[in-house]
Chains A and B, each alone.
Chain A
Amino acid sequence: MARIVGGIGTSHVPTIAMAFDKGKQQDPDWKPLFAGYQAVAKWLAEKKPDVLFFCFNDHATTFFFDQYPTFALGVSEEYRIADEGLGVRKIPRLKGDAKLARHVARSLVDDEFDLTVFQDLPLDHGVHSPLTMMWPSQPDWPGRVVPLFVNVLQHPLPRPSRCFALGKAIRKAISSYPEDLKVAMVGTGGLSHQMIGERAGFNDERWDREFLDLIERDPERLAQMSIADFARLGGNEGAEVVMWLIMRGALRPDARKLHDSYYLPMTTAMAVALFE
């Protein structure tokens, strides 16, 4: 049977990919960021999950507002890297686990999560900016991904409680998959940031630290908050942390946080946390 071996929460800021691609590992401005990911990369190298189940959002790259799903599951064998305006990052295409993804799609719909499915679409930095910090991309990725798209751009957004419940349903789906697979959950986004309006540049480290504590200890409390609460506390764009709730919902309720790291250099608080 497939089993969930742990979970990762991570920011997906595009400059993380920029710093990685430009080889800024030793640059004093970026070193703390890279240091924060080492424990996660080591854990993945040791646990060797076959699949990373990635709860992410697209940034009006592959999905556009003429047709905008709330939840959409990728069910392809392979995913191209999207061009977001600067050309395509020089990393290999991502390998999908189509068989597991199709099983999860059937299980979720049977569980009354009526999601969209997509295939043969490119993925943007929402997935691969954190991915290159955690998994080696050369000569090729060590495993496969199942991407779950979440609408955190165009309101109405799904309620945090719905995201948490979806995580629980994903746990049920993965646990009922007959193949002997190891799956790690990844929830992306945040932490505090606002990119628009007069409040652009807003952060709140105190709230971010509280979030990093609650996501381990009391995710139910986070799930009871509203999107407006998250936007007020963590900035308009910071409300995307509801994707961490999907990851957390798929873990055991008593999962423990093994590691976290927080770095706020510019406009977005960059955090990574590991749960088992």
Chain B
Amino acid sequence: MSYVFDLERSAKGLRLNRFLHSLIDAAQRKLFLEQPEAAMEELSEEEKDMVRRLDWRAMQDYGASFFCLEKLARTKGVSNPEMVAHFRGETLEAFLRTRRVPGAR
């Protein structure tokens, strides 16, 4: 499948992306960490489920922008190499073995 973030994906992912984007606000991050269901009120059940499970691949396939997913990752303390490994379908350790400087993160 194509992962190009085009207007079709943007339209489908708008509500989810809006939630992910809201995490640039410190108060919203606090709410999400303390009362996730309250922070996710606007989302559909399907969307909430993907966020609860931090299923990066499912969110990406659904229409989440990588750059909006980064906001959720930072809030939950997940690094980009961890997300990239997830997209590739491998463990972080396996992904790092493919890198030139695994400590540079």
Contact = CB atoms under 8 A, between A and B. Distances in A.
Interface of A: 14-15, 19, 29-30, 59-61, 64-66, 82-87, 153-156, 195-198, 200-201, 231, 236-237, 264-267
A66 B19 CA distance: 12
Nearest to B14: A65
A266 B97 CA distance: 10
B81 A266 contact: yes
The 5 closest A-B pairs by CB, nearest first: A85-B74, A265-B101, A265-B104, A60-B67, A197-B3
Contacts of A59: 67, 70
Contacts, number: 104
B4 interface: yes
Interface string B69-105: 0111111000011011001110000010011111111
A198 B89 CA distance: 8
A75 B46 CA distance: 41
Given A65-B65, A198-B87, A236-B3, A60 B99 contact: no
Contact of A82 (B6, B17, B24, B74): B24
Nearest to B1: A197
Interface in B1-60: 1, 3-7, 10, 14, 17-18, 21, 23-26, 29, 60
Given A201-B98, A266-B102, 7 more contacts: A14-B80, A60-B71, A64-B17, A87-B26, A153-B67, A195-B66, A201-B95
B81 to A, nearest CB: 6
A201 B70 contact: no
Interface of B: 1, 3-7, 10, 14, 17-18, 21, 23-26, 29, 60, 65-68, 70-75, 80-81, 83-84, 87-89, 95, 98-105
Nearest to B22: A64
B5 A155 contact: yes
A196 B63 CA distance: 12
Contact of A153 (B65, B95, B98): B65
Given A86-B74, A265-B101, A266-B105, A200 B88 contact: yes
A195 B80 CA distance: 8
Given A60-B21, A155-B5, A196-B60, A265 B87 contact: no
B62 to A, nearest CB: 13
A84 B84 contact: no
Contacts of A86: 74
Nearest to B8: A155
B75 to A, nearest CB: 6
A82 B26 CA distance: 11
Nearest to A196: B3
B5 A154 contact: yes
A47 B42 CA distance: 52
B73 to A, nearest CB: 8
A83 B25 contact: yes
A155 B6 contact: yes
Nearest to B61: A197
Task: Identify which of A60, A87, A200 gathers the most chain B CB atoms within 10 Å of its CB.
Answer: A200
